[in-house]
Amino acid sequence: MQLLIVDDEPIIRLGLVKMAEVYAPAFTGIRTAENGLDALDKIRALEPDIVLTDIRMPKMDGLALCQKIHDEYSHIQTAVLSGYSDFEYAQKAISYSVKQYLLKPLEVTELHEVLNNLAQQSSSGYISVSRYMEWIDRMEQSIWSMKMSDLNAVMKQWREYCLSSNLSLSQVKELLVDCITMLVKRFQDKQPGKEKEFVYQSIHGESIMAALERFDGVLHQIAEHLLISRKGNYRDPMEEAKAYIDSRLSQEISLDQVAAMIGLTPTYFSALFKKMTNETFVQYRINRRMEKAKELLSVPHIRIVDVASLVGYEDYPHFTKTFKKIVGISPSEYRSQQGIK
């Protein structure tokens, strides 16, 4: 089980961590946060089983955090720790499904008793819908772009999460079948008329790990079928994106347009583009425009103002400013260096 301790006072956080570390059975992970906003970020990333939070904190207090947990992560068990014996706070905490309301200072035996109660009430057999959909999106993008290393990384996280979620074997199999069904439907929508290419065997296995391994095999099978359906004409999505951008330097195209053209979501495309090119979409387009501008400036009969237009700059002063920033000299100076007057 995972525990998140939220308190804005470092000494108290450290003390609570020390007390939690000697709790048995031991937690698989103990994390800390210094306020409600920090805690929410860690909850979204880690989804702990239990949250122990202070009431009075800057940026977002404990009650606001409990309300967020109640509304968005109802499976997480919460306990409130406060130095204020305030019944109104206790009432509000109870309304947000907080199971325990404790007063500082807290003894180690009191904390362990609270953890025992929360551990017993902790939901089993739960998997976050938001995280489930996020993983399906990542699996889809990895397979569609044939990034098998990315797919393997996603599968490693997926496997670890499923094994720690207390799902039964039948629940895991049902989850995996739903996931495959959804992925296949998405690929069919991307390639109308290719339904027969996406035939896969059912998920089976005598254990959860065996079912997950079978699932991994099915994903790679889907990727192979997808590649076959492209009849070997597959182009790397980043090369395809760059070619699309390069051929439209005079136009104002958006990241969303390019992402849609290669069949990726804008967010995934943006991250993948930066990873593969070491440049953002905007940086790449500007640099390519300036490279094209240098080529055109080397042609004597093309006016500099026309060069600006040909690389997508109707605002001539903006073009010259950008060119000098990237190249180091103005367009006219560059042309002079080429021996062109």
Please give the CATH topology (third level) of the domain spanning 237-337: Arc Repressor Mutant, subunit A (1.10.10)
A 10 A CB-CB count for 189 gives 8
pLDDT of residue 289: 93
- What local confidence, expressed as pLDDT, does residue 98 receive? 74
Say if CB 289 and CB 249 are below 8 A apart: yes
Between 128 and 22, the higher pLDDT residue: 22
Query: How much is the pTM?
Result: 0.44
**Of residues 134, 132, 126, 125, the one with CA closest to residue 168:** 125
- 243: Cα separation from own chain's centroid: 27
Task: List strands edge to edge, sheet with 29-33.
Answer: 29-33, 2-6, 50-54, 77-82, 100-103
CATH 3.40.190.10 fits 2-121, yes or no: no
Contact 312, 246 (CB under 8 A): no
The residues spanned by each domain of the chain are 2-121, 129-229, 237-337
pLDDT digits (tens, 9 = 90+) for 93-119: 666 667 677 777 778 888 888 888 777
Give the least confident one: 9-13, 234-238, 279-283.
Answer: 234-238
**Residues 283, 94: Cα–Cα separation, whole Å:** 51
Q: Which helix (H) or strand (E) holds 80?
A: strand 77-82
Residue 166's SS3 state is coil
Going by C-alpha positions, the residue among 46, 42, 74, 48 that lies closest to residue 60 is 42
Q: Do domains 2-121 and 237-337 have the same CATH topology?
A: no
